[in-house]
Amino acid sequence: MANDDSVVTGLSGRYARALFELATEAKQLDEVAGDLRGLSGALAESEDLRRLVDSPVLSRDEQGRAMAAIMDAMQAHNLTRNTVALLAQQRRLFVLDTIISDYLRLLASHRGETTAEVTSARALSDSELDKLRATLKDIVGRDVAVETEVDPDLLGGLVVRIGSRMLDSSIRTKLQRLELAMKGAG
């Protein structure tokens, strides 16, 4: 396994690393990753869920009960359920999205993959993600795990980050460049 110490850091990194180690021992890396991807998708799609995890007003018990119901609906594995319950009890649900990203980064590092952070104006279909993975694999020369985020402000196109490299083909950036060019010409 690659040295994961530099892959994740901080509070979210500690939780992600602990969950990763438990999932490794239980041989449930993929199951937990599937749960976390589902939870990440739910966070991206549901304003109510984002408010729930970010709320300083709701009690630990209220957050815990709500998240337990979500875990039940998702039929999440016990490791995922217990981690989310612990986060609710410790009032750390606000870092859940970062913990998910950190866990997926640890998993990618464990498998010798590179992680690409992809931001798009809309959710990408499975076939689009498959094509993107294949293209990125050709570019970097190894398997690429893709973490997606939706930002409607991009208007269209993609922003892809792999390590310190970034490719920005978003319409927003193209319009900003055009605006700068027009200011310079005028």
Check if the beta carbon of residue 63 is closer than 8 Å to that of residue 50: no
Q: How far apart are CA 71 and CA 84, in angstroms?
A: 8
pLDDT in tens, 24-45: 999 999 999 999 999 998 998 8
Q: Given this model, what pLDDT does residue 3 score? A: 47
3-class state of residue 149 by DSSP: strand
Task: List every span in the chain annotated with CATH 3.40.30.
Answer: 113-185
Block residue for tokens 């549901």: 46
Q: How far apart are CA 124 and CA 147, in angstroms?
A: 11
Backbone torsions φ then ψ of 14, nearest 5 degrees: -65, -45
3-class state of residue 165 by DSSP: strand
Task: List every span in the chain annotated with CATH 1.10.520.20.
Answer: 10-106
Q: How far apart are CA 75 and CA 107, in angstroms?
A: 21
Q: Given this model, what pLDDT does residue 6 score? A: 58
Side-chain half-sphere CA neighbours of 150 within 13 A:
12
Mind giving me the DSSP string for 69-126?
HHHHHHT--HHHHHHHHHHHHTT-GGGHHHHHHHHHHHHHHHTTPEEEEEEESSPPPH
Please determine, looking at this structure, whether the domain spanning 10-106 carries the CATH number 1.10.3760.10. no
Segment 99-106 shows an average pLDDT of 92
3-class state of residue 168 by DSSP: strand
pLDDT in tens, 162-174: 878 898 988 888 8
Check if the beta carbon of residue 97 is closer than 8 Å to that of residue 20: no
113-185 has which CATH code? 3.40.30
Spatial CB neighbours of 64, under 8 Å, sequence gap ≥ 6: 85, 88, 89
Q: Given this model, what pLDDT does residue 19 score? A: 97
Tokens of 23: 């999932």
- Give which of 36, 40, 60 is closest to 50, Cα–Cα: 40
Average pLDDT over the chain reads 90
Q: Given this model, what pLDDT does residue 70 score? A: 94
- Give which of 70, 112, 113, 92 is closest to 19, Cα–Cα: 92
Q: Which residues pair with 168 in a beta bridge?
A: 159
